[in-house]
Amino acid sequence: MAGRVDGKVAFITGAARGQGRSHALRLAQEGADIIAVDIAGSIPGMDRFYPGATQDDLDETVARVEALDRRIVAIKADVRDFTALKDALDSGVAELGHLDVVSANAGVFQFGDKTEDVSDEDWDTVNDINAKGVWHTAKAAIPHLKQQGTGGSIVLTSSTAGIMGTPNVAAYTASKHAVVGIMKTLALELAPFSIRVNSVHPTGVNTQMIRNEATYRLFLPDTPHPTDEQAEEVFRTTNALPIPWVEPVDISNAVLFLASDEARYVTGLQLKVDAGYTLK
C-alpha cells in the first residue's frame, strides 16, 4: 500500500529533535523525503531553561530517516536568518527536486516572568524565533510552491497558548497567537494557488522543552526541585483527558493528516491536539 504522503518532499524546521524529528520520521514512514533544518546549537538566553539541540541530534534525525529508506537533506540554519534559511531550503529543493509540505515547527519556550518583568532581549528571542521564524519559513517556501503550480500544504506549529492566555508566559503566548494570524492571512492569500495553510495547537508534549526542572517549577513554584512524578501530577490537571502530556507522534499524526491529500480541502484550520486543555 502506498504511503499517505508518498512521493512528497517535506521541509521541517526544528528537525533535530523533539516534535520536529518526530514529524520527519512520521512523514518519512509514509513515503516523504525530508529537508531538515535546525539551528543545532545553543541559543543565547535559552540555556537557563533547557539546552539547545546539537549537531549530533540533527545527525540522529538523518540516520533515522535514512533507516526508513527515505532521502533527507539536513542543513544547519537559524530561522531568524532569512538568507541562511532560504539558502538551506533552496539547496534542499535542488537536491530532492520539489517541495510539497512545509512544517514550520522551530520554536522556543520561555516563561516565568510577570509580563512587566520580561526583558526586551527575551521578548525578541522568543518572537524572533516563534513568529518571525515562521514567517521566514513561509516566505522561503511559498515561491517554490507557487512556481511548481502543484499546490501544497503548510502546517504552522502554534500551541494552546495560541488560543488561550497563559499567565507569566507573555512572549511565548504572543508569539503563538501571531502564528495564527500568519496562518489565517496565508490561507486567504494562497487558496487561489491550491496551497493550504493550517496550524496545529499542541498541549504539553513529552519533549525536552517541557520535561525539565525549570518548566516544572513554573507549575510548582514552591518546590525547589520538582520530580517527574510531581510534574506529571500537576500537568495532568491542565488537560481534560486524564493524561499529563501527549507524545511527539500525536502531533506528527495531525501534521501527517494535514500534509496528506486526505485533507485536500482543509485550510484555515486551527487543529488542536490538546487533550481538551483549551476546554478547561
Partner 1 sequence: MPGRVEGKVALITGAARGQGRSHALRLAQEGADIIAIDIAGSLPGVQYPSPTPEDLAETVRQVEALDRRIVAKQADVRDRAALKAAVDEGVAELGHLDIVSANAGICIIADWRDTTEQIFDDTIATNLKGVWNTITATAPHLIEAGGGSMILTSSVAGIKGLPFLSAYVTAKHGVVGLMRAFATELAEHHIRVNTIHPTGVDTPMGQMDPNPFGPLLAAHPQLGGMLANLYPIDVTQPVDQSNAVLFLASDEARFITSTELTVDAGATQY
Catalytic residues: 172
In the complex, the smallest distance separating the C-beta of residue 19 from partner 1, rounded to whole angstroms, is: 14
Whose CA is closest to 1, among 24, 26, 33, 29?
29
Q: Is 111 helix (H, G, I), strand (E, B) or coil?
A: coil
Q: Which of 137, 203, 206, 207 binds partner 1 (CB under 8 A)?
A: 203
Q: Which stretch binds partner 1 (CB under 8 A): 111-119, 153-161, 164-172, 192-200?
A: 192-200
* 265 near partner 1, judged by CB under 8 A: yes
User: 78-112 b/e with 16+ CB inside 10 Å = b?
Assistant: bbbebebbbebbeebbeebeebbbbbbbbbbbbbb
Instruction: Tell me how far, at minimum, the Cβ of 249 lies from partner 1, in Å.
Output: 9
Q: Answer yes or no whether residue 253 interacts with partner 1 by CB under 8 A.
A: yes
195 grid coordinates: 496551497
Asked whether 144 and 99 are in contact (CB, 8 A), the reply is yes
Q: Is 181 in the site for partner 1 (CB under 8 A)?
A: no
274 touching partner 1, by CB under 8 A: yes
Q: By CB under 8 A, is residue 273 in contact with partner 1?
A: yes
From 214, 215, 207, 188, select the one nearest 245 (Cα to Cα).
Answer: 207
Q: Which residues bind partner 1 (CB under 8 A)?
A: 1, 184, 187-188, 191-192, 194, 196, 203, 240-243, 246, 250, 253-254, 256-257, 262-269, 271-276, 278-279
